[in-house]
Amino acid sequence: MLSQQDMLEAERHGRQVRSIYVYEAPVRLWHWINALCMIVLAVTGYFIGKPLPTVPGDSTENFVMGYIRFAHFAAAYIFAIGLLGRIYWALVGNHHARQIFMLPITNKHWWSEVFFELRWYLFLEKTPKKYVGHNPMAQLMMFFFFTVLAVGMVLTGFALYSEGTGLGSWADTLFGWVIPALGGSLQVHNLHRLGMWIMMTFAVIHIYAAIREDIMSRQSLISTMVSGWRMFKD
């Protein structure tokens, strides 16, 4: 198993490195469960915000919106617990597990790499650079558009959930303060829904970037999140 420093050292001596173990099993498992939760939350959350106008049959025999709400709440619990587990693994896992939680914002070289990657994504650079974990631009985007946003979605989501569980419930005790802090229930609803659209937009961009890098940068991304190994194709 090679570290990023090992790879750089090998390249200096002209040796070709073809694979490096990057993402440990808990990170990979969390990634795919989290992706499934996001899909369920987005679809059910949309219908909760814009309920179906009608359903066929007698109302006493239908529980469509109830099932939709149950699926949303169940996925929310899994999403929140998974986020806590992912934070724990960032503390005990390898250094790649910490990338989406910690930004080296005081490192000038890191910022230069961020802007290089921006130019690369804008097709202004001809030759890509290779990274063992997330490239600096991906790390920056993951931090703001997933890590920070995910925390915000958990806070606003469980705050809205507390309205149903009632005053004095665990949800109200832990998250009830969010509603008055953000300006009321309607405002929290709007922010939660806006967060959903931002997260889904980022997910589409994330998938596009992963496929693009897999092809153009000659290094595996999608299969790396399955096997854990980053493959370099040159």
Query: pLDDT tens for residues 48-101?
Result: 999 888 777 776 778 888 999 999 999 999 999 999 999 999 999 999 999 999
Query: pLDDT tens for residues 124-175?
Result: 999 999 888 899 999 999 999 999 999 999 999 999 999 999 999 999 999 9
Q: How far, in Å, CA of 169 to CA of 180, rounded? A: 17
Instruction: Assess contact for 212 and 221: CB atoms under 8 A.
Output: no
Q: How far, in Å, CA of 142 to CA of 206, rounded? A: 9
C-alpha count within 13 angstroms, C-beta hemisphere, residue 74: 10
Task: Provide the Cα torsion 220, 221, 223, 226; round to 10°.
Answer: 140
Can you state the angle between helices 25-49 and 185-216, rounded to 10 degrees? 130
Q: How far, in Å, CA of 135 to CA of 155, rounded? A: 29
